[in-house]
């Protein structure tokens, strides 16, 4: 928890969501890989409903771009007020907000429906109605049950980045699972083999995971795995902002 007191949202965005990691000129870079996993999974049309909750949204919205077409409401959450404020600035279209337009344009391109990117931007802003505080270490992460429970749950680079060990990761996964209805879909993106990352003055410890840890944790937390993919971080993207080896994408059902 202490590390997160020094978390700088703008530094985190610069480290992960500007070039070289957010380079849309090739699908080999990590950000296009993440966006493709989500776009392909939502393209099936199977994952839809009233509410999707995103756990540990941080200052980012890229993870919601394909999701937002399939839900009436998107609930974003984060532990830190500075991150919730950063998200609010983008949702209200205020000056000084991070520029997500290259991400939105890229997602419209890979979804291939010829949708103008401004339409997707508007839709996400309309549907992103709640930005709530959360703590995944509590059995009731929002402080009260979500009523009705979410139809789908998304979480990107949060649970392993706030858990001291694998047992805590499993517990956090079970806690956030309480927000989801039985049968609901869970999509997780996360770091493989990472022990720390930087966000300005903050150096955050991460529990290093292997693919097998992700499988075991999902099973232990009551999820049935549908799909697991992974990405190896190319040398050019090992920039010193973390020691990540790769990224996993898991699709599971409660
Ligand atoms: N989802 C974003 C941000 C991930 S960074 C992305 O894909 O890039 C990890 C996030 O976990 C940070 O935003 C941090 O504020 C949040 N976090 C820290 N402690 C937490 C806790 N106890 N419960 C939930 N989220 C927490």
Q: Report pLDDT digits (tens) over 190-212.
A: 999 999 999 999 999 999 999 99
Q: Which atom of ligand 1 is nearest to the CA of 54?
A: 1
- Determine whether the annotation assigns residue 78 to a binding site: yes
CB under 8 Å to 18, separation ≥6 — which residues? Answer: none
Res. 174 pLDDT band, cuts 50 70 90: very high
Q: Is the peptide bond before 115 cis (omega within 30 degrees of 0)?
A: no
Q: Whose CA is nearest to atom 22 of ligand 1?
A: 135
Taking only the tens place, the pLDDT of each residue in 68-81 is 999 999 999 999 99
Distance, CA of 30 to CA of 68 (rounded, Å): 21
Average pLDDT over residues 27-56: 97
The length of the chain is 254
- Determine whether the annotation assigns residue 57 to a binding site: yes
- Determine whether the annotation assigns residue 245 to a binding site: no
Entry pTM: 0.98
- Judged by phi (left if over 0) then psi (alpha if -120 to 50, else beta), residue 241 lies in alpha
- Determine whether the annotation assigns residue 15 to a binding site: no
- Distance, CA 75 to ligand 1 centroid (Å)? 14
Ligand 1 pocket test, pick from 82, 136, 162, 191 with the greatest ligand atom count within 8 Å of Cβ, gives 162
pLDDT exceeds cutoff 90 at 8: yes
Site residues for ligand 1, CB cut-off 6 Å: 4, 7, 16, 56-58, 60, 63, 78-80, 83, 134-137, 156-158, 161-162
Domains defined along the chain, listed by start: 4-253 (3.40.50.150)
∠186-202-190 over CA atoms, to 5°? Answer: 20
């Amino acid at each position: 928890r202490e590390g997160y007191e020094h978390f700088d949202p703008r530094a985190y965005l610069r480290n992960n969501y500007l070039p070289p990691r957010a380079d849309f000129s090739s699908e080999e870079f990590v950000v296009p890989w993440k966006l493709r996993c989500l776009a392909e999974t939502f393209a099936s049309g199977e994952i839809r409903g009233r509410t999707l909750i995103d756990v540990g949204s941080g200052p980012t919205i890229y993870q919601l771009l394909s999701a937002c077409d399939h839900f009436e409401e998107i609930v974003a959450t984060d532990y830190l007020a500075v991150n919730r404020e950063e998200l609010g600035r983008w949702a209200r279209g205020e000056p000084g907000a991070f520029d997500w337009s290259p991400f939105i344009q890229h997602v419209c391109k890979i979804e291939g429906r010829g949708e103008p990117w401004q339409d997707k931007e508007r839709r996400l802003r309309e549907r992103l109605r709640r930005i709530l505080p959360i703590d995944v270490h509590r059995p009731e992460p929002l402080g009260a049950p979500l009523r009705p429970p979410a139809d789908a749950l998304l979480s990107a680079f949060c649970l392993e980045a706030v858990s001291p060990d694998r047992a805590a990761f499993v517990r956090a996964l079970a806690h956030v699972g309480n927000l989801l209805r039985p049968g609901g879909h869970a999509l997780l993106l996360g770091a493989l083999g990472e022990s720390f990352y930087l966000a300005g003055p903050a150096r955050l410890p991460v529990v290093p995971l292997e693919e097998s840890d992700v499988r075991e944790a999902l099973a232990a937390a009551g999820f049935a795995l549908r799909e697991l993919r992974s990405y190896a971080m190319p040398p050019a993207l090992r920039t010193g902002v973390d020691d990540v080896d790769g990224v996993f994408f898991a699709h599971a059902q409660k």
